[in-house]
Amino acid sequence: MLPSIDLRIANIIKALEQVVQPALAPRERLARDQVNLCIGHLRMIMEQWRWAVAFEARSLDAMIALADNILPSVEIVWHDELASALDRGWWVDRQDLAAVEKAIVALGGVIDRIILGEDGKYPLTDAVRQAVLDYGEAQAARERAWFAGTGLDPDRAELSSIAAMMDAGVVR
Amino acid sequence: MIRDDLDIWDRSEMEPRIRHILERTARLRHTGPYRPKTNAEVTAMLTRFFAAHDMTDIVIADVERMSGGASKEQFAFTLSHGAKEAQGERLVLRMDPLEAIAQTCRGREGEIQVAMAGHVPVAPVRWFDADGDLLGQPAVILGFVDGVTQPSDGDGRAVSGMGGHLGSLADRLAPQYVDALAKTHRFDWSRAHLRYFQAPRAHSRQAAIWQVNWWSGVWWDCLVEPVPAITLAERWLRENAPVCDRPVLVHGDLRMGNFLFEEPSGRFTAVLDWELAHIGDYHEDIAWTMQKLFGSWGDDGTFLVSGLLPRNAFIERYQAASGNVIEPERLRYYEILNAYKCAVMDLGQAMRATIAGNNHQEVVLSWLGSAGAVFLSHMIQLIRES
């Protein structure tokens, strides 16, 4: 593919840095700030784009693993609904980003209702609580590695690179 | 003594003005997308606004867009009124885009700064339009205050105050920072005749539950993608809500980036961004300012609260200045609540505003949104430790 995605992103960054930025008057502070952030976003996108579909597919897989984990512990009222959302999740085409995102929303919605337990009417078992915390911790670590390029994470030195995280297929 | 028959799951338990703001947000969301205002549009809006205040003999000049903040659209301008005011006054217009990272009330922001003048350094409030009846968008107009939020010889890479360093000025800024927090918490709000605020009951869990309902209301209204840890945290926060015996004024967002100081003296010129102010538990402010993302590391690797001083020294000095005792368990509750709040702002409200195109700087919101997982990690760690 010529020109490649990486090349075009690099071209845009150069234009922003070397032409647009110097053309902005010092008093145009918001515009200058926004150009800086555009450059930052583009640098991150350059690292992320080739992994985007796989990253979301693994997010769905992680949520399916959570649903699978909690299925034996959930109240009977949600058992069938969760089992059927789980089943639908398994069959989603992992190369279809929109379908993967839709499946995450559907399955996550059922899990949310289980956690809330009809606003406290049903207790939250320790098993479900632990499973949600384990899943949440792992997923947050993946997302922190994914967005480490912002430089906002105070513990970014502990995070693996996107490539290393994706190659390993696991968190950190 | 607990005077509490509160239903922790009653989602209608919320400060009325906050409910109004959240309902207004949901009602107006579909009128977007929002287009950033031009200087000419701002001049026209201000002209109409001042005419409604019977100020027709005016000149609005040097309208200039300001940076900073992830929330409000800000313009500096000079207002001259009548021949005798030829030089005019430099002012700042802070107005709501259709949606931002936090949906708050300009009436509260204006009113509380009027009340706090003389207690802590604040920008002088000239006018506010709480519901945008005159300007077309809710706004507050403040006197321009000189100062910086980061040393001008720093790298200037902080976004909304995060990721900055205060360097050698930290020693001079720290006592003023602690003093501002202590004075805010000692402020007698009950005599201030605040129209836009209501106080939660003393000796009740209402202070905590009002906050949980505010932010969980935002989360469910804005939901883009379910995050089970956020839902789990909501349940934990309801089931573990502590009693607040004596509600105080809480700034809600006091941290690095939200105070202005002069250079080279380091003298505080204004405590900024009162938009999240409310009456509640002082532990909430202490927990907020101690979040890792709002601090920095000293040369020796010590974490500095708001880039100013180590955690234990900060707590010690705050207790001495305020007379308030920091209770570790209550502090932990509010650390979890604040991490939850930040995750809701980043992954909920900011994402909803960005998707709808309802902000003037979506590129900032999606940048900050990517920090959501940092707050989630912290929140999960704290829940585990609890």
pLDDT of amino acid A29: 86
In single-letter form, the type of residue at position B8 comes to I
pLDDT of amino acid A171: 41
pLDDT of amino acid B5: 80
pLDDT of amino acid B85: 63
Query: Is B367's CB within 8 Å of A111's CB?
Result: no
Proportion of chain A above pLDDT 70, given as a percent: 98
Query: Is B367's CB within 8 Å of A37's CB?
Result: yes
Give the DSSP letter of residue A123: P
pLDDT of amino acid A169: 61
pLDDT digits (tens, 9 = 90+) for A28-83: 888 999 999 999 999 999 999 999 999 999 999 999 999 999 999 999 999 999 99
This complex has an ipTM of 0.95
Contacts of B163 in chain A (CB under 8 A): 151-152
* Cβ contacts from A onto B, under 8 A: 128
pLDDT digits (tens, 9 = 90+) for B182-198: 999 999 999 999 999 99
Higher-confidence position of B154 and A123: A123
**Residue length of chain B:** 386
Q: From B26, B23, B261, select the one nearest B148 (Cα to Cα).
A: B261
List Cα–Cα distances, B351 to A7, A141, B179, B214, B252, in angstroms: 29, 20, 35, 17, 21
Selecting from A27, A34, A155 the residue whose C-beta is nearest the C-beta of B363 gives A34
Distance from CA of B193 to the nearest CA of A (A): 36
Strand order in the sheet with B89-95: B58-65, B73-81, B89-95, B139-143, B125-129
Selecting from B225, B239, B384 the residue whose C-beta is nearest the C-beta of A133 gives B384
The burial of B56, by beta-carbon neighbours within 10 Å (0-12 exposed, 13-18 middle, 19 or more buried), is given as exposed
Answer yes or no: are the C-beta atoms of B220 and B366 closer than 8 Å: no
HSE-up (13 A, CA, CB side) for residue A66: 30
Query: Is A135's CB within 8 Å of B228's CB?
Result: yes
Answer yes or no: are the C-beta atoms of B126 and B91 closer than 8 Å: yes
Tokens of B9: 């799951």
pTM confidence score: 0.95
Instruction: For chain B, 386 residues long, give each residue's pLDDT as a single digit of tens.
Output: 555 789 999 999 999 999 999 999 999 999 999 999 999 999 999 999 999 999 989 999 999 998 766 689 999 999 998 866 668 999 999 999 999 999 999 999 999 999 999 999 999 999 999 999 999 999 999 999 999 998 987 765 555 666 677 888 999 999 999 999 999 999 999 999 999 999 999 999 999 999 999 999 999 999 999 999 999 999 999 999 999 999 999 999 999 999 999 999 999 999 999 999 999 999 999 999 999 889 998 889 899 999 999 999 999 999 999 999 999 999 999 999 999 999 999 999 999 999 999 999 999 999 999 999 999 999 999 999 99
Contacts of A105 in chain B (CB under 8 A): 225-226
Q: Rounded distance, CA A144 to CA A7, Å?
A: 26
